[in-house]
């Protein structure tokens, strides 16, 4: 209300501000600070130490997992972009208008189904006794079942599958705003398909691609179920290291250090992407 | 190239095949999961042994259907309780946050807004362990100073609720903010001018306008809470929620009763998705 | 006649900026009063102070003699029709109109009677069940007014409610509003930047500029006897000629134009603060080929630049010889001037008593909101 009767404005402000402030302070800021503090404390509760971080750099298994996780997360993000662009393009620009509404609904339904169930579906399909193996053996293409689960390729496919929609939705969002006349004009001016993609469509969709990339990257980096259930013994994910330290070894200080490293990594990469593309987090998350 | 431009046959049909494959990729695992819920076999796989509803209603001795499966039912109940608590809390605080950021002005508003969206870019695993560690430290501190043991700060129901609340509130807030941003504040002035007091304006005008967004946000909150694994896994006590319980069964192998549970969840989520979309369409 | 609204020396400051500067007005019961001014002149601020959305920095606002200073907006006997109408989209027409009555705690049967009665009065009987987006622009207008009138306010405030309508409908609604006001007898205070709206509908108009009232009067007074250069320019169409005022030996005055030509003027002028003056003459005061050269007539030869045909509102664009300015001349559609073509030479003249002169003051007049 645009009155300048101060009393009322203050009252509303206090009611709105207090719970929000407490939420962010008690559940976001202080826990992260505590995570940081504990990561510098030794296992016995002794004083300041860098041991937890040194352990990370000394044990190749730790930092190798870390590097693997980061690079696979980037790889998955890139694959997702490549698949999401034509899908979004088909739905917004090629499919008949009626069909496009239906396809949108169809696209969104799996979005609400939990990651665990979607991964479980793939396990039923792909494992040695799974549906695909049974079918292929039955029609004689395979002589005996092959284990298709528990390897990096399958794991990457699973990660692409579970995070796909977080790219498709923002990209469709911006692509709907792309005026067909721009493509027509480019076509009329003699541009080939590839040139239209390169000069018109992709630059226009950049904000959607960026926000999709950030969400996908974040989700993949922090994913636990998919790598754990679909990846092999050798494809350990960094979140699994954290889980092991906290739940299995009960070494919370080591787990805190790993958690903080993961947080630093995700913040750093998101920050770098935003910097490179000149976007702001506020704009990306609408 | 697009609807209005001429395109070659190969281009069109090539694109169609691609989209067909994409949707097959999207739905194959879900459909197979659902179909195998009706397979009269002890394992969630082929060959097809005949149709049965035992994985829903079976009551032993070999096959226990979901409705007679004590362990899974208990975890479903737990998930329901958690989801209800999280939905109630995050809807209220998320709506407050929307009002705070859209209608109030104060110093460091930008910084606080940044903090509010931070949970979206902090991996859920980290939210989980940081809250676990913080709650534990607080518990130790309180025990040392006041010599009382605060049970709420240990892993269990309230810690799970707290952990999920910490990021689901952000999502509710963003949903409500999106609608509040389109709200014409002269409507509030008009109501005020017509004799309504501050609370009546809030109730009859602002909240009424926000109602679809608040309900939508609450529904999203419920679903996200019900399905959450990454944050919850660090915070559960002796009683697991459904996703945790399901995870153990999926990892270690189980009967098609998980398929039956999955089918129920997929159907629930689909109904929700369609309702959510159609209400959104109605609003526009 | 009782005074419905009385504003006494009201000032509103936002920091260093003075939006409304020592403004006074009083409106009698049952009158249609307009405040006319360009955007940013402070008229909306004044209206919001009357409604109670702003507190005045100084002065008093009284409704039927009662001081409103400490009365909350929801307790004041005034209602406001918003510029964008602010109809509640989540309620139907009936609920919109009943909203204020319900807040007063009136009983349902009484509410139904009043709402239906008012719907009839604004010419929309039976429209209660309709939603807001089923209404046309003009219908929304009427519902917004009905929503306020049902509360029987001492004064109804209207904040440019016709602004969003297209030109044709606006013309129509002007007449409708005027008739409605006459019929219900409620005091209307109407603000607008459109001088034609103010002139057509009002019993009295206050012309506002830069936070102050330039003149308050009937539309006729404003048109024929503007009190300031601003009013002369803002109300109706006018030709403006920059001139230098001179006093002759016999104590009379004349205005000298840039090309050395002297114009006869009426009245006495103060030359102490400088002799730069603007001379205003309305297009319909300019006569084409005047029959006889009367003593009081300023006559000059001119070239026709263009004919601006617009039915009854047709005009000629002429440049008198040696003039830098173009003059707009009313072109009566009486067949008498049908022979005139662009490029023709004519004589034009005006009676000295039909022109007004004011000390030069340059206003930037915004016509669009």
Under an 8 A CB cutoff, do A267 and B270 touch?
no
> What are the pLDDT digits (tens) for A196-244?
888 888 888 888 898 889 889 988 988 888 888 888 776 788 888 888 8
Same domain assignment for residues C213 and C165: yes
Q: Is residue C343 part of a domain?
A: yes
Same domain assignment for residues C253 and C218: no
Q: What confidence score (pLDDT) does residue A4 get?
A: 46
Assess whether pLDDT exceeds 80 at residue C272: no
CA A154 to chain centre: 17
Residue C324, domain CATH: 2.40.50.140
ipTM of the complex: 0.85
Name the token pair of C176.
């409708």
Same domain assignment for residues C298 and C160: no
Name the token pair of C334.
């009486």
Helices B242-252 and B257-283: angle between axes, nearest 10 degrees: 140
Is residue C128 within 8 angstroms of chain A, CB to CB?
A: no
Same domain assignment for residues C215 and C246: no
Domain closes at, from C233, C267, C286: C233
Q: Domain spans of chain B?
A: 1-68+254-284, 71-253
Lowest mean pLDDT among B168-177, C122-131, C210-219, C271-280: C271-280
Choose which CATH entry (1.10.3720.10, 3.40.50.12280, 3.55.50.30, 3.40.640.10) describes domain B71-253: 1.10.3720.10
Name the token pair of A31.
């826990």
Using a CB-CB cut-off of 8 Å, the residues of chain A touching B250 are 116, 119-120, 123, 229
**Helical ranges in C122-194 per DSSP H:** 137-149, 167-184
Residue C39, domain CATH: 3.40.50.300
Same domain assignment for residues C166 and C304: no
Q: What angle do CA C222, C228, C230 make, to 5 degrees?
A: 90
Same domain assignment for residues C77 and C226: yes
> What are the pLDDT digits (tens) for C66-92?
898 888 888 899 999 998 889 998 889
Same domain assignment for residues C208 and C278: no
Assess whether pLDDT exceeds 90 at residue C94: yes
Is residue A129 within 8 angstroms of chain B, CB to CB?
A: yes
* Structural domain harbouring C256: 237-359
Q: What is the mean pLDDT of residues B88-94?
A: 95
Same domain assignment for residues C49 and C153: yes
Name the token pair of C187.
């005091």
A170-200 residues labelled b (16+ CB within 10 A) or e (exposed) = bbbbbbeebeeeebeebbeeebeeeebbeeb
Assess whether pLDDT exceeds 90 at residue C258: no
Residue, of C329 and A48, whose pLDDT is higher? C329
Residue, of C53 and C335, whose pLDDT is higher? C53
Same domain assignment for residues C69 and C163: yes
Strands C262-264 and C297-308: unpaired
Q: Is residue C122 part of a domain?
A: yes
Domain closes at, from C203, C233, C263: C233
**What does the mean pLDDT of chain B come to?**
86
Query: From the candidates C12, C15, C53, which should be mutated to test the interface with A, based on the most A CB atoms within 10 A?
Result: C53
Same domain assignment for residues C250 and C276: yes
> What's the full length of chain B, in residues?
284
Residue C238 backbone phi and psi in degrees, to 5 = -150, 145
Q: For residue A131, with 0-12 CB atoms within 10 Å meaning exposed, 13-18 middle and 19 or more buried, which class applies? A: buried
Quote the longest CA-to-CA distance of chain B: 79
Helix (H, G, I), strand (E, B) or coil at A133: helix
Distance CA C369, CA C320 (A): 34
Q: What is the mean pLDDT of residues B230-235?
A: 91
Q: Is residue C225 part of a domain?
A: yes
Q: Is residue C364 part of a domain?
A: no
CA B139 to chain centre: 29
Domains of chain A from N-terminus onward: 52-117+150-284 (1.10.3720.10)
Q: Is residue C262 part of a domain?
A: yes
**What does the mean pLDDT of chain A come to?**
84
Radius of gyration of chain B (CA): 24
Distance CA C51, CA C43 (A): 12
CA A67 to chain centre: 16
Assess whether pLDDT exceeds 50 at residue B67: yes
- Direct distance between the N- and C-terminal alpha carbons of chain C, in angstroms, rounded to an integer: 35
Q: Is residue C365 part of a domain?
A: no
> What are the pLDDT digits (tens) for B96-153?
999 999 888 888 888 899 899 888 888 888 999 999 999 999 998 998 898 888 888 8
Under an 8 A CB cutoff, do B18 and A285 touch?
no
Same domain assignment for residues C216 and C254: no
The domain total for chain C is: 2
> What are the pLDDT digits (tens) for C274-298?
788 888 999 988 888 887 666 678 8
Under an 8 A CB cutoff, do A5 and C55 touch?
yes
Same domain assignment for residues C211 and C108: yes
The residues that bridge with C92 in the sheet, in sequence order, are C131
Under an 8 A CB cutoff, do A105 and B277 touch?
yes
Q: Is residue C353 part of a domain?
A: yes
Q: What confidence score (pLDDT) does residue C365 get?
A: 53
Q: Could you tell me which chain A residue has the CA closest to the CA of B155?
A: A247
């Amino acid at each position: 209300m645009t009155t300048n009767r101060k009393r009322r404005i203050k009252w509303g402000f206090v009611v709105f501000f207090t719970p929000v402030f407490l939420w962010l302070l008690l559940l976001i800021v202080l826990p992260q600070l505590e995570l940081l503090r504990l990561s510098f404390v030794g296992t016995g509760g002794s004083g300041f130490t860098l041991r937890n971080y040194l352990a990370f750099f000394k044990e190749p298994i730790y930092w190798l997992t870390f590097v693997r996780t980061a690079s696979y997360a980037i790889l998955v993000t890139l694959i997702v972009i490549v698949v999401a662009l034509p899908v979004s393009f088909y739905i917004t620009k090629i499919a008949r208008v009626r069909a496009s509404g239906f396809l949108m609904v169809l696209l969104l339904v799996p979005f609400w189904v939990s990651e665990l169930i979607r991964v479980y579906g793939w396990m039923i399909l792909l494992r040695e006794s799974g549906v695909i193996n049974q079918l292929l053996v039955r029609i004689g293409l395979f002589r005996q079942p092959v284990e298709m689960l528990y390897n990096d390729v399958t794991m990457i496919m699973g990660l692409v599958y579970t995070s796909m929609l977080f790219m498709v939705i923002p990209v469709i969002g911006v692509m709907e705003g792309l005026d067909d006349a721009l493509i027509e004009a480019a076509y009329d001016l003699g541009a080939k398909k590839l040139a239209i993609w390169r000069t018109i469509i992709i630059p226009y969709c950049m904000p959607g691609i960026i926000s999709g990339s950030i969400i996908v990257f974040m989700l993949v980096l922090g994913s636990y179920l998919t790598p754990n259930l679909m990846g092999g013994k050798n494809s350990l994910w960094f979140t699994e290291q954290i889980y092991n330290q906290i739940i299995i070894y009960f070494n919370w200080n080591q787990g805190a250090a790993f958690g903080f490293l993961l947080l630093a990594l995700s913040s750093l990469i998101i920050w770098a992407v935003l910097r490179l593309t000149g976007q702001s987090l506020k704009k990306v998350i609408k | 190239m697009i609807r209005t431009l001429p395109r070659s046959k190969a281009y069109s049909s090539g694109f169609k095949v691609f989209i067909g494959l994409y949707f097959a990729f999207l739905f194959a695992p879900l459909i197979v999961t659902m179909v195998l819920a009706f397979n009269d076999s002890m394992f969630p796989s082929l060959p097809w042994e005949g149709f049965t509803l035992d994985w829903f209603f079976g009551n032993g001795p070999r096959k226990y259907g979901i409705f007679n499966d004590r362990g899974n039912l208990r975890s479903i109940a737990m998930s329901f309780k958690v989801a209800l608590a999280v939905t109630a809390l995050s809807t209220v605080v998320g709506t407050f946050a929307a009002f705070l950021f859209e209608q109030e002005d104060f110093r460091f508003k930008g910084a606080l807004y940044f903090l509010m969206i931070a949970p979206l870019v902090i991996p859920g695993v980290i939210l989980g362990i940081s809250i676990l560690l913080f709650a534990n430290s607080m518990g130790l501190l309180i025990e040392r100073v006041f010599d009382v043991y605060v049970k709420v700060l240990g892993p269990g129901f309230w810690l799970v609720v707290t952990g999920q609340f910490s990021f689901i509130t952000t999502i509710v807030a963003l949903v409500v903010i999106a609608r509040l941003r389109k709200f014409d504040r002269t409507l509030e002035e008009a109501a005020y001018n017509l004799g309504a007091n501050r609370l009546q304006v809030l109730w009859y005008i602002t909240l009424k306008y926000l109602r679809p967004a608040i309900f939508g946000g609450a529904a999203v909150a419920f679903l996200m809470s019900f399905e959450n694994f990454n944050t919850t896994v660090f915070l559960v006590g002796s009683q697991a929620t459904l996703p945790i319980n399901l995870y153990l069964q999926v990892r270690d192998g189980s009967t098609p009763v998980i398929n039956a549970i999955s089918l129920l969840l997929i159907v629930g989520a689909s109904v929700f998705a369609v309702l959510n979309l159609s209400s959104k369409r109605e609003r526009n | 006649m009782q005074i419905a609204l009385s504003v006494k020396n009201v000032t509103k400051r936002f920091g260093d900026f003075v939006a409304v500067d020592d403004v006074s007005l009083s409106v009698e019961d049952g009158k249609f009063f307009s405040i006319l001014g360009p955007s940013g002149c402070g008229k909306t601020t004044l209206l919001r102070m009357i409604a109670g959305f702003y507190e005045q920095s100084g002065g008093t606002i009284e409704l039927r003699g009662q001081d409103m200073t400490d009365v909350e907006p929801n307790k004041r006997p005034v209602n406001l029709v918003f510029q964008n109408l602010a109809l509640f989209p989540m309620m139907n027409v009936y609920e919109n109109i009943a909203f204020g009555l319900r807040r007063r705690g009136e009983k349902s049967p009484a509410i139904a009677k009043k709402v239906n009665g008012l719907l009839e009065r604004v010419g929309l009987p039976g429209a209660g069940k309709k939603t807001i987006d089923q209404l046309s622009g003009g219908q929304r207008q009427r519902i917004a007014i009905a929503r306020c009138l049902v509360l029987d306010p001492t004064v109804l405030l209207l904040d440019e409610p016709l602004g969003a309508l297209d030109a044709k409908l606006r013309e129509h609604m002007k007449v409708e509003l005027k008739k409605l006001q006459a019929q219900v007898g409620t005091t209307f205070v109407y603000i607008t930047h459109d001088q034609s709206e103010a002139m057509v509908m009002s019993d009295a108009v206050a012309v506002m500029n830069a936070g102050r009232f330039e003149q308050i009067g009937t539309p006729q007074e404003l048109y024929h006897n503007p009190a300031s250069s601003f009013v002369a320019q803002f109300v109706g169409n006018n030709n403006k000629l920059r001139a230098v005022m001179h006093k002759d030996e016999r104590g009379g005055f004349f205005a000298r134009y840039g090309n050395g030509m002297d114009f006869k003027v009426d009245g006495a002028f103060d030359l102490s603060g400088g002799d730069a003056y603007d001379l205003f003459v309305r297009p319909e005061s300019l006569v084409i080929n005047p029959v006889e050269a009367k003593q009081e007539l300023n006559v000059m030869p001119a070239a026709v630049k263009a004919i601006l045909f617009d039915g009854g509102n047709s005009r000629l664009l002429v440049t008198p010889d040696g003039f830098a300015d173009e003059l707009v001349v009313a072109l009566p559609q009486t067949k008498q001037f049908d022979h005139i073509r662009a490029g023709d030479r004519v004589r034009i003249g005006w009676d000295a008593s039909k022109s007004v002169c004011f000390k030069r003051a340059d206003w930037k007049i915004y016509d669009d909101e």
